[in-house]
Amino acid sequence: MTASNQLRRSWKAKIYRLEGTSGDQWVDETTGIVVFHVTDKSQETDQKASQNELYLSVHEIPPGEDDMVPVTPEIRRINILEWARCFVHDQAHFIWEDNTGMAFSMSFYSSDHMQLIWNQIVEACSAFRSPTVPILTADTIAQIADIIEGAGSVPQGMEDWVEQDSTVDGLRNLVALAQAEPVAEEDDSDDDMEPREGEDADTAPTTPSTSHLRPALFRLVRGLFNLGNGRITVALMDDTHFPLTLACLEYGPASPGRQLKIELDRLVEGIPSIVAWTNPAVSEAMQRLARMSFMRDVALARLLDDYSAAIVTGQHILATRTVLNMLNGEMAAFKAWFAGPHSLEERASMLAFLDEFNVRSKFYLMLTGDGTGRRVTESLLSAGVLPFLVASVEMPMPHGRRAAEIIHFICTTSTSAARQALIDPPESIDALSRLMTLLTTVDPPEDVVEAVIGAISALLHPPKVGGVKQGSEAAVGFEISSPDSNSRLREGFLDLFYVRCSSALLALIRPPTESMSRSARTTTAHTLTTLAACIPSHALRVSYLIAGHSLFPKLVASLEWADVGCVIAAVRLLKVIVEATAAPTPAAETEFYSQMIIRCNVLGAILALAKRTAPGSPCSSPMVQSACLALLKTAHRIAYLNAVLVTDHRATLVEMTHHSLFTRLLEEPEPEMVVGSEMGDGDMGLSEDLRDAVGT
């Protein structure tokens, strides 16, 4: 067994204290070697010894010997600032050599002894620029870092030590020392001490370079940070130490992507309260770290993965504002990232961040109505996040589902400014069209279909201020500006959408077949429902959409479909169209709807469907029957449609006795809704293009 293993094993077995000595003398129980000795200062004559002086057991190191030779301890007092070098003996304990050539050893595994070593390094760092202090060697610091990293956890008795001011100050000094000069390649030569070109010996700087120490210093800081299990991080959460700690991470090992994630995970675990996120220095440091990631070509997704952890650990809204500042400050880099090629891992990591961020944004929107989340949404849309998300919908599940859900969240929380951001980059509006096309080519699961159609629906008719109900779910988004201020932006978006996305939207309406998947049928039903919701908000645009794609005959034909969900959605769309004809002042679209209802015999088709699904019939369906009755009740309240029912469909109404409504339809009602023009003038004031559509 090597000396290293002996010492490590004996430490775990509690290196025993040799009784009867003048101080604390610790002995390896296997070899009998005195590994450390500290005298009792109270027994010394010099009661006011300097804090820089230790009382250590001295050992001789014969030349050529690998192991330390135990001798009778000689108690000496050594000034820490006078030592010349130190090295680690067999990775187990330290052997120090002072400036007289004498050596002493020190076990590393006692918390008191570890603190003594640390204090030496702190003192050396603080006095580093003094010409009388020898230079710290990189090997020394690296060896200490090796042992600290190997410990893996806080040794017993050190819990209080990691919270002491001296520990925090030591970290600060180390990081400041590492920051003193620009990063340079590690060089063990003494070239840094030579005068630079153009300088003479009198004017050349006398302070030695610290570049060769940086790798070891970074490892030491990270090792202590890890050893503290977050306590050191908590202590560093102020306007000085936190940025310095991040600066240490900036110039970490050769693989910055992986290391950044590990280190930032540790950092955010120690964020103690809202104070850290309100601190401008913390915000600036996080932004600087983001900029560094771009300079280092680190995948942005990995960095944002850690911002996601910050959102979980810190105060959400303030952390979000930090992200917002970073987004606005690095917009060009974001655009370049979203536009570039990405691996599956990078896409998945970015989606994880966006999903984490959106989930918490949704909660805080409902709780506080804070607008920060929406501003981040606007920034992401301006950076071109939508094409990235649309392309991600095609990824394997669950990534495709996550992308669809994020699209749904962005659309449901979009302000008019965010919708303008959808218009500004041409790729965004094209991405919406591509998104709808994906539903017919990829055949995603039902929940993805619902998320995508819900997103399109939210863009076309956003919820009102205060979060009104949409269907069975509460709307999450808000319109935070007045309708007047939003109207121009909203109209611009709608114009562009109906011109460039209408074909893709209507292509989602497909007759269900036996071979069609359930998600495809769901797509058809949701699309019909979306059109129904759009008619009250922008009936004229929908009328042109229906006319341009000959949708009325398709709707009537859809009443023959075997899929109950699609049939119900079609009937409800026709009901909304019927209601639109009862406008107090006739407009081109209402007249168009009225003529098409009569020309396509919509009421006759509805009566036939009601008869076919009546109770007791082979195709009985209470839900379809209810939808048909709701449409007929609406028609009964409109004078000219009630006249069509009584005149053209009397025989059918007489035969249908399974519901009292059919008997009431034969009675002369007192209309509650009246179209403001008569039906006998032929074109009813339609525009030329809509009149042409009616005639087809």
Mean pLDDT over 174-194 rounds to 48
Q: Is the peptide bond before 398 cis (omega within 30 degrees of 0)?
A: yes
Q: Of the given ranges (531-540, 654-663, 687-696), which has the lowest mean pLDDT? A: 687-696
> Does pLDDT of 348 surpass 50?
yes
Distance CA 430, CA 221 (A): 49
Burial of 452 (0-12, 13-18, 19+ CB in 10 A): buried
pLDDT tens for residues 320-329?
555 555 556 5
Q: Of the given ranges (97-106, 364-373, 527-536, 667-676), which has the lowest mean pLDDT? A: 97-106
> Does pLDDT of 92 surpass 50?
no
> Does pLDDT of 9 surpass 70?
no
Mean pLDDT over 660-678 rounds to 63
pLDDT score at 350: 73
> Does pLDDT of 315 surpass 50?
no
Distance CA 55, CA 38 (A): 5
User: Mind listing the domains of the chain with CATH numbers?
Assistant: 3-183 (no CATH), 550-696 (1.25.10)
CB 280 within 8 A of CB 322: no
Instruction: State the pLDDT confidence band at 121, using cuts at 50, 70 and 90.
Output: low
Pairing of strands 34-39, 103-107: unpaired
CB 337 within 8 A of CB 296: no
Mean pLDDT over 276-285 rounds to 54
Distance CA 77, CA 39 (A): 10
Residue/partner pairs of 159-162 with CB below 8 Å, 24 or more apart: 159/231, 161/111, 161/114, 161/115, 162/224, 162/227, 162/228, 162/229, 162/231, 162/232
List strands edge to edge, sheet with 93-97: 74-79, 53-59, 103-107, 93-97, 85-89
Most confident of 137-151, 249-263, 425-439: 425-439
Distance CA 453, CA 614 (A): 32
**Quick one: tokens of 399?**
């990534």
> Does pLDDT of 416 surpass 50?
yes
Residue 25 forms beta bridges with which residues? 37
Q: Of the given ranges (268-277, 418-427, 678-687), which has the lowest mean pLDDT? A: 678-687
pLDDT score at 640: 84
The secondary element (H helix, E strand) that includes residue 339 is helix 331-339
pTM (predicted TM-score): 0.54
> Does pLDDT of 340 surpass 50?
yes
Mean pLDDT over 418-442 rounds to 72
Distance CA 374, CA 428 (A): 17
Q: Of the given ranges (69-73, 169-173, 566-570), which has the lowest mean pLDDT? A: 69-73
pLDDT tens for residues 504-523?
888 888 888 777 888 888 88
Instruction: State the pLDDT confidence band at 560, using cuts at 50, 70 and 90.
Output: confident
pLDDT score at 489: 57
> Does pLDDT of 404 surpass 80?
yes
pLDDT score at 56: 41
Query: What is the DSSP annotation of 425-492?
Result: SHHHHHHHHHHHHHHHHT---HHHHHHHHHHHHHHHSPPPTT--EETTEE------S-HHHHHHHHHH
Mean pLDDT over 219-238 rounds to 56
- Closest to 190 in 3D by CA, of 142, 135, 141: 135
Q: Of the given ranges (71-75, 178-182, 258-262, 427-431), which has the lowest mean pLDDT? A: 71-75
Distance CA 353, CA 293 (A): 16
Count of Cβ atoms closer than 10 Å to residue 250 Cβ: 20
* CA 670 to each of CA 41, 539, 636, 641: distance values in angstroms, whole numbers, following the listed order: 109, 27, 9, 13
The residue written with tokens 């209470």 in the block is 622
Q: Of the given ranges (239-243, 466-470, 590-594, 626-630), which has the lowest mean pLDDT? A: 466-470
Pairing of strands 23-27, 34-39: antiparallel
Question: Angle at the Cα of 613 (from 611 to 618), degrees rounded to 5?
Answer: 110
pLDDT score at 395: 81
Question: Angle at the Cα of 44 (from 43 to 49), degrees rounded to 5?
Answer: 130
Residue bearing the bigger pLDDT, 676 or 438: 438
Instruction: State the pLDDT confidence band at 609, using cuts at 50, 70 and 90.
Output: very high
Residues with Cβ < 8 Å from 189, sequence gap 6 or more?
Answer: none
> Does pLDDT of 367 surpass 70?
no
> Does pLDDT of 114 surpass 90?
no
pLDDT tens for residues 580-602?
887 665 577 778 888 888 888 99
pLDDT score at 473: 30
- Closest to 487 in 3D by CA, of 462, 466, 454: 462
Q: Of the given ranges (381-385, 390-394, 499-503), which has the lowest mean pLDDT? A: 381-385
Mean pLDDT over 378-399 rounds to 79
pLDDT score at 166: 63
Instruction: State the pLDDT confidence band at 414, using cuts at 50, 70 and 90.
Output: low
- Closest to 677 in 3D by CA, of 594, 609, 619: 594
User: What are phi and psi for residue 546, nearest 5 degrees?
Assistant: -65, -40
pLDDT score at 331: 65
Instruction: State the pLDDT confidence band at 617, using cuts at 50, 70 and 90.
Output: confident
Mean pLDDT over 370-396 rounds to 73
The radius of gyration of the chain from alpha carbons, rounded to an integer in Å, stands at 39
Cα 205 → chain centroid: 48
> Which DSSP state fits 676?
S
Residue bearing the bigger pLDDT, 172 or 84: 172
**Quick one: tokens of 614?**
């009546």
* CA 77 to each of CA 52, 226, 372: distance values in angstroms, whole numbers, following the listed order: 10, 33, 62
pLDDT score at 281: 57
Distance CA 610, CA 664 (A): 15
Residue bearing the bigger pLDDT, 490 or 248: 490
* CA 273 to each of CA 278, 306, 319, 324: distance values in angstroms, whole numbers, following the listed order: 9, 17, 11, 20
> Which DSSP state fits 135?
P
Distance CA 128, CA 167 (A): 18
In whole numbers, what is the pLDDT of the chain averaged over residues? 61
Mean pLDDT over 447-471 rounds to 64
